[in-house]
Amino acid sequence: QLVTLGEIQVARGRLAEADALFARALPLVDRFAGPGSTQAAWLLLRLGLVRLHLGRLGEAVAALERTLALHDALPQVGLNDRLNLLGLLMEAVTKLHIDGTRAIKYGQRRLHLAAQVTDPGERAWYRAQTLANLGKCHTANGDWATAAEHVEQGLGEVERVPPPRQLLVRFLLLEQ
């Protein structure tokens, strides 16, 4: 019930109320479904996203990192879900300016997973997006040469990205 009420608050744009409901639901989900359950992973993801939108980056990263650990332990979690979660973590950690190497590790892991995507256009999309974010991470760390390498590699992926997303990828890469 708490989770459903939280989702209703998200739909209404009342994120603070959703956060409180999700936070109250988490110990109950852990207790009844188990802390390693798909329900716990899903709720932690929702909690992390809400906190990300509320600007509570530290708490968002903690929830998203716990989600990632659960995703790694749950074989039924899909590749795209892991890729999207790693992308969120890269962005959140980079915005926090707490640990550039942590964001870079997420990016490297995301590149590795992107290689497993079977559709060439989707693979190029994930690679280009990740390379753009890695460029941001290296720029934030003052490593301009590596940032430029990532941007160049990302630009090399653009032609393989499906046309509707090509403009977005170019924007992300040139934002550097």
**pLDDT for residue 95 is more than 80:** no
pLDDT digits (tens, 9 = 90+) for 23-37: 999 999 999 998 888
Q: Look at residue 21 in the predicted model and tell me its pLDDT.
A: 97
**Torsion angle, alpha carbons of 53, 59, 65, 70, to 10:** -90
CA distance 99 to 93: 7
Q: Give 176's pLDDT tier (boundaries 50, 70, 90).
A: low
Q: Look at residue 91 in the predicted model and tell me its pLDDT.
A: 81
Give the CA distances from residue 3 to residues 27, 37, 52, 118, in Å, rounded to whole numbers and listed in that order: 12, 15, 18, 34
145 vs 173 pLDDT, higher one: 145
Q: Look at residue 139 in the predicted model and tell me its pLDDT.
A: 86
Residue with tokens 């630009």: 155
Least Cα distance to 98 among 53, 137, 132 occurs for 137
- Rounded mean pLDDT of the chain? 89
**pLDDT for residue 150 is more than 90:** yes
Q: Look at residue 88 in the predicted model and tell me its pLDDT.
A: 85
CA angle 151, 154, 156 (to 5 degrees): 115
pLDDT digits (tens, 9 = 90+) for 105-142: 999 999 999 999 999 999 999 999 899 889 988 888 88
**pLDDT for residue 99 is more than 70:** no
